Amino acid sequence: MPEHLNLVDGRACPAAEGHTIEVVDPSDGQPFATLPRSGAADVDAAVRAARAAFDGAWGRLTATERGRVLARLSALITQQAESLAQLECRDTGKPIQQARVDIAACARYFEYYAGAADKLHGETIPYAAGSTVMALRVPFGVTGHIIPWNYPAQIFGRSVGGALAAGNACVVKPAEDACLTPLAVASLALDAGLPPGALNIVCGLGVEAGAALAAHPGLNHISFTGSAATGTAVAQAAAVNHVPVTLELGGKSPQLLFADADLDEALPVVVNAIVQNAGQTCTAGSRVLVERAIHDAVLERLAQRFAALRVGPGTRGLDCGPLINRRQLDRVTGLVDAAQADGARAVARAAVVDDAPAGGFYFAPLLLDGVAPSHPLAQREIFGPVLAAFAFDGEDEAVALANGTPYGLTAAVWTRDGSRALRLAHRLVAGQVFVNNYGAGGGIELPFGGMKHSGYGREKAFEGLRGFTTVKTVAIRHG
């Protein structure tokens, strides 16, 4: 089996203790490669390499030069897009067309931040007579990046692209279930001219390598993307060293459908928002809130769409691939079983193709009605292709339902009434509100992040670049 290695100080290396993790193809459940199972010593070596690069060759580059390196990396990703997409498809099980979108987005993150690198600047501040005060935007130094398995290439590009453009040196701990595209893109970064040590990748388990990175006193900032529970653990570990953290966590995002909505536009988007990546998207639209007057008609139309979806191996390019692993399959199945035992009604279900490999982690997309708003299925992130429908009467009830979970990541409003759309955009508690469209996972140029238990701090866009800097005030008394 191919043995993938860490990337530390520009060199490919196994874990210091020699342990490995099997890489499993979610489409058939079979291992096809190994990864290093790194520990604290590997993380420490990576942090030291990053510090040396920050204090050395990488730290000496101008913003324009940093941008040029990232632009070359973006071009290399684009040149290798098809092989990277095949790798992403095998590693995560996602349909190949989604993997292609993800690789294009990864290239686009580096392109965006390449252009932004030398447009970021500080301010001068009017102060006492005979003084000049500058508020400089400076990189933190060494940044840690802990990323999840659902969009490894995209989230790698989003987080590392912003951090490198701002001048930081990075240590990345990808998820144990999906490390292959981050490793491949990091290797391309060396070809693009990134100095060794500016970008290091340490693979391993969350509780081992991830915990060691979160607790490392040599970091100056941590960007964490993952579940709310792990986000708490990472923020607690970082707090010991007073290291600031950006938390990009989960969601329970609602789609609000009013009776005046253009349903021909809305319904395909509503279905895609929960089926894309088998529902394993932080911004998955896992709740559809429907104005009562159109509830039955909408459910009938959604049911037809769900019943027509086809599920199978990622390489087949169907509507939906497998879930990432057995644990995730058991989790989703358990939540759905509990909801049905408590009265939820299956309105429609997709089908897994007959010849899908028996060992794959398939869960056919499911449309549920009659879930109590307080039920765990309506409150917790499901991270599977399960859409729960709820009826509402009027804007107040719609807003109460929409805001009635611990999360606040994204929301969508579908209506032809412009005043209502604006009213709701203000009332919905979410980091992003879409009106008559929904951008699950996309939007490199749009500031992104959560409210409430969906996290804090922002990535993507220029806001993400600022998020990887701090401010140093220089006050000069010159008379």
Binding site for ligand NAD (CB under 6 A): 146-151, 155, 173, 175-176, 206-207, 210-211, 214, 225-227, 230, 233-234, 248-250, 282, 381, 383, 409, 450, 455
Q: Which residue, 196 or 206, has its beta carbon nearer to ligand NAD? A: 206
Under 8 Å between Cβ of 133 and 476: yes
Smallest distance, ligand NAD to C-beta of residue 236, A = 9
Compute the CA torsion angle 413, 415, 421, 424 (nearest 10 deg): -50
Per the residue annotation, which of 88, 111, 208, 248 is the catalytic one? 248
Looking at the Cβ atoms of 171 and 356, the one nearer to ligand NAD is: 171
Query: Looking at the DSSP assignment, which residues form a beta bridge with residue 470?
Result: 138
Q: Whose CB is nearest to ligand NAD?
A: 206
Q: Is 248 a catalytic residue?
A: yes
DSSP secondary structure, 221-250, as one string? EEEEES-HHHHHHHHHHHHHTT--EEEE--
- CB of 151: closest distance to ligand NAD in angstroms? 6
Place of tokens 């990535």: 459
Residue tagged active-site, from 179, 282, 320, 381:
282
Q: How near is the Cβ of 233 to ligand NAD at its closest, in Å? A: 4
Q: Which is nearer to ligand NAD, 92 or 230 (CB)?
A: 230
Dist CA 433 CA 422 (whole Å): 10
Give, in degrees to the nearest 5, the angle at Cα 278 between 202 and 292: 135
Q: Nearer to ligand NAD by C-beta: 37 or 90?
A: 37
- Residue 36 or 67 with smaller CB distance to ligand NAD: 36
Residue 317's region, left for phi above 0, alpha for psi from -120 to 50, else beta, is left
- Can you tell me whether residue 440 is helix, strand or coil? coil
Report, in Å, the least distance between residue 412 CB and ligand NAD. Answer: 16
**Distances in Å between the alpha carbon of 133 and those of 261, 297, 477?**
53, 63, 9
Answer whether 47's CB lies under 8 Å from 54's CB: no
203 is catalytic: no
Residue 282 beta carbon to ligand NAD: minimum distance, rounded to whole angstroms:
3
Active site residues: 248, 282
